[in-house]
Amino acid sequence: MSNVFEFVAETRTGNGKTASRAMRRSGSVPAVIYGHGVPQMLSLNHNEVVKHLSHEEVYSHILDLTIDGKTEKAILKGVQRHPAKVRILHLDFLRINLADRIKVHVPLHFINEHSGIGGKKGGVAAHAMTSVEVFCLPAYLPEFIEADLARLDVGFSIHLSELNVPPNVQIVELTHGADHDLAVVSMQAAKVPVE
């Protein structure tokens, strides 16, 4: 799979709820791109957007956003979904400059959950987070951050400071001080029914 995802968009002129509803009925997704200039209203093909959003990597990658034939670098900052249907209602993109650091939420991947020390004892991993916000140059943006539960025993936790973060990448929460070193996952004893 390619590391670069391309979204193809067109500039849209109509804005407001009525125009957005009409776009959705015609199979398009309203969107906006902001940052490094004037915000620009966009329209994207709904089916293509759904295909892209089915890949976890799209949420933490630098994207190629082609608007009216001209390609820009951007990240996906927000997705508004319909609460009951497989329908994307709105997208927010952020233009990026490859020389400027960015803040992005990156997914956490948990490994050795069942084969680790706590898992072998019947422990159950309780995930306090599924993603973490990082600060880095676009070139260093990780696809995901791994949390290895191999040595996690029952009654213990893995905190943000214990994650294996690539060089040149900072966890935003940890820049606020030691008291922001939050638990990412803890291993809890399995509840045994009382007879």
Please state the rounded mean pLDDT for residues 105-118: 95
State the pLDDT at residue 22: 85
Of residues 60 and 150, the one with the higher pLDDT is 150
Residues of the chain with CATH 2.40.240.10: 5-95
Answering whether pTM is above 0.85, one says no
Q: pLDDT digit string (tens) for 144-193? A: 999 999 999 999 999 999 999 999 999 999 999 999 999 999 999 987 65
Strand-pairing partners, residue 145, are 108
Provide the pLDDT for residue 2.
42
Q: How confident is the model at residue 105 (pLDDT cuts 50, 70, 90)?
A: very high
Query: Hey, what amino acid is at 161?
Result: S
pLDDT at 17: 80
Say what the pLDDT of residue 193 is.
Answer: 55
Task: Give the CATH fold of the 5-95 domain.
Answer: Ribosomal Protein L25; Chain P (2.40.240)
What's the CATH number for 102-188? 2.170.120.20
Q: Provide the pLDDT for residue 141.
A: 93
The encoded tokens of residue 136 equal: 């880095």
Domain(s) of CATH 2.170.120.20: residues in the chain:
102-188
- Number of Cα atoms under 13 Å in the Cβ half of residue 90: 13
**Widest CA span of the chain, in angstroms?**
68
pLDDT digits (tens, 9 = 90+) for 19-38: 888 888 899 999 999 988 88
pLDDT at 194 over 70: no
Per-residue pLDDT for 18 more than 50?
A: yes
Provide the total of helices (H) and of strands (E) in the chain, helices listed first: 3, 13
9 within 8 A of 42, measured Cβ to Cβ: yes
How distant, in Å, are the alpha carbons of 56, 93, 104, 138, 191 from that of 96? 20, 9, 12, 8, 48
The tokens of 126 are what? 């309780």
How does the average pLDDT of the chain come out, rounded? 91
CB 89 within 8 A of CB 24: yes
Q: 1 pLDDT exceeds 70?
A: no
